[in-house]
Amino acid sequence: MTRPTIHDVARAAGVSLSTVDRVLNDRVGVRHATQIRVAQAMRELGFERNAAAANLARRRQDRLLFILPAGSNSFMRGLERELAQRSEAWEFTSIAVQIVPAFDDMALARTLQAVDPDATDGVAVVATDSPVVRAALAELRERGVAVVTLVSDLPSSRRQHFVGIDNVQAGRTAASLLGRFCRGRSGKIVIVAGSMLVRDHAERRLGFEQVLRAEFPDQQILPPLEGRDDRDIVEAELDRVLRQQPDVTGIYSLGAGTRGVARALAGYGAGGSRPSVVVHDLTPHSRQALLDGSFDAVIHQDPVREISAAVSLLQSLVRGQPVDADAGRIGIEVFLRDNLP
């Protein structure tokens, strides 16, 4: 009827509460045979540790730190807002946020070095890809701090997990959509990126070109524009290309210069002749562009899920609990005008 407690386990296994506790929390001083007996009893009774009571008794607080890039990037600001709003939503966990200059690996490395291992149990970091960052991250792990990367990964570093979407898949998804949208109108496709030095952008481009080349060979991909996630640069560059190339059928914006894309397209009006447009990240601006029909689709990663996945993953790591290999994987969302949340 009611859930079994450690008392029930103790009785069933014929041992004392202390021994059950020792087994449950991997403490030393239990003979192997006894361990087996207790584990057996737990299985038979279907015992599950009451997490509420456990957390209450263990008056530990997990202290987590999130390191995010500065700048006007709507997505990053969304993560920050989410962290601020829900910082009290996790039991027995305190969350700090630190903002560092964007695209600045030295600054990020310095910040990582300055993390106090005695005041921080785990770190989630939006990684800039660079050797100094890798080194600082490894050192942090040496000092016993759990580390996961967020949004943009740093593979073959000592980070324990990555939390975010699969950016190659995201690029492939964009190509599947845009290719279908442009079918029957062969022409040129423009890719608008932030910078190919950022890992997630490079991966998105890779996936996009894979699929478009293989499945929609009548579309020609132009060399990518690098807009540095700046709306003015993006607008100017894209405007130039659209003037030079009259037969652009599709635009894929894989970075954060979305407002620039919308402005460069303003000339087309509502006519059916404008290029099909797929961009990343749902923001007030991309939402508006979907609604007024200037964008066709938005590929999105949900900040809410991203944050909660990062928090629970770090909690598990810090508490030494086992974690799934793909625990940090966030789904890629596709929004059209009609399924906006």
Partner DNA sequence: CAGATTATGACTTACGTACGTCAAACCAAA
Partner DNA sequence: TTTGGTTTGACGTACGTAAGTCATAATCTG
List contacts with a copy of itself (CB under 8 A): 2, 48, 50-53, 55-56, 61, 88, 91-92, 169-170, 172-173, 175-177, 180-181, 183-185, 207, 211, 276, 296, 331-339, 341
Residue 252 near which of a copy of itself, DNA, none (CB within 5-8 Å, type-dependent): none
Print burial letters for 164-194: b (CB count within 10 Å at least 16), e (below 16): bbbbbbbbbbbbbbbbebbeeeeebbbbbbb
Q: How many residues bind DNA (CB under 7 A)?
A: 31
Helix axes 17-24, 32-45, angle to 10 degrees: 90
Among 1, 2, 114, 320, binds DNA (CB under 7 A): 2
Least Cβ distance, residue 13 to DNA (angstroms): 8
What Rg do the C-alpha atoms of the chain give, in angstroms? 25
Q: In the bound complex, what is the minimum distance in angstroms from residue 132's beta carbon to a copy of itself? A: 34
Q: 211 is in the binding site of which of a copy of itself, DNA, none (Cβ under 5 to 8 A by kind)? A: a copy of itself
Q: Which does 180 bind (CB under 5 to 8 A by kind): DNA, a copy of itself, none?
A: a copy of itself
- Judged by beta carbon, residue 6 or residue 145, the one nearer DNA is 6
Q: How far is the CB of 52 from DNA (least distance, A)?
A: 8
Nearer to DNA, 273 or 321 (CB): 321
Q: How far is the CB of 160 from DNA (least distance, A)?
A: 22
Which residues sit opposite 335 in a β-bridge? 298
Contact status, residue 186 vs residue 249, Cβ threshold 8 Å: yes
CB of 15 to DNA, least distance (A): 3
Range 33-62, binding DNA (CB under 7 A): 33-34, 47, 49-50, 53-54, 56-60
Quick check: 31 and 19 in contact, CB under 8 A? no
Among 1, 11, 12, 21, binds DNA (CB under 7 A): 21
Asked if residue 31 binds DNA (CB under 7 A), the reply is yes
Helix (H, G, I), strand (E, B) or coil at 125: strand
CB 119 within 8 A of CB 98: no
72 or 94: CB nearest a copy of itself? 94
Q: 118 CB contacts (<8 Å, ≥6 apart)?
A: none
Nearer to a copy of itself, 156 or 273 (CB): 273
The tally of CA atoms less than 13 A away on the side-chain side of residue 209 is: 14
339 forms part of the interface with DNA (CB under 7 A):
no
The answer to whether residues 125 and 105 touch, using CB atoms and an 8 Å cutoff, is no
| Binding partner at 33 among DNA, a copy of itself, none, C-beta below 5 to 8 Å by kind | DNA
- Please identify, using beta-carbon distances, which residue of 81 and 180 lies nearer to a copy of itself: 180
Q: Nearest-CA neighbor of 81 among 313, 300, 306?
A: 306
Partner from a copy of itself, DNA, none contacting 84, C-beta within 5 to 8 A by type: none
Q: Where are the alpha helices (DSSP H) in the chain?
A: 6-13, 17-24, 32-45, 51-57, 74-85, 105-113, 131-142, 167-181, 199-215, 231-244, 258-265, 284-291, 303-318
Report the C-alpha gap between 221 and 238 in whole angstroms. 14
Nearest to 161 by CA among 329, 333, 300, 331: 329
30 near DNA (CB under 7 A): yes
Nearer to a copy of itself, 35 or 210 (CB): 210
Closer to a copy of itself by Cβ: residue 232 or 247: 247
- For binding to DNA (CB under 7 A), which residues are involved? 2-3, 5-7, 14-19, 21-22, 24-25, 28-31, 33-34, 47, 49-50, 53-54, 56-60
